Amino acid sequence: MIELLGILLLVQGGGGLINRLLGSNNPSWFVQLHLLPPGMHVVASALMVAAGVGVLFAERARKQRRRSE
């Protein structure tokens, strides 16, 4: 379930970041683009990507520690 959260953050953040960097004005299905003011879109998307990567790496490390015990 934690992996699903990491993937969701990564997809939402990455998609929103690409959406804004390519200059689209349509918020599409990216949550942060609907909820936040336009000045925060790129920063929020980048933070979501970082959080998603962090969650996925932390979960992977946790699983590897369990295997080694």
Residue 55 has phi, psi (to 5 degrees) of -65, -45
Mean pLDDT of 48-63: 96
Cα separation of 11 and 57, whole Å?
15
Per-residue pLDDT at 59: 95
**The whole model's pTM is what?**
0.89
pLDDT, tens digit (0-9, with 9 covering 90-100), for 20-45: 999 888 888 899 999 999 999 999 99
- Residue 65 reports pLDDT greater than 80: yes
Cα separation of 47 and 35, whole Å?
15
Cα atoms in the 13 Å half-sphere on the side-chain side of 44:
16
Residue 25 has phi, psi (to 5 degrees) of -95, -10
- Residue 69 reports pLDDT greater than 80: no
Average of per-residue pLDDT values in the chain? 93
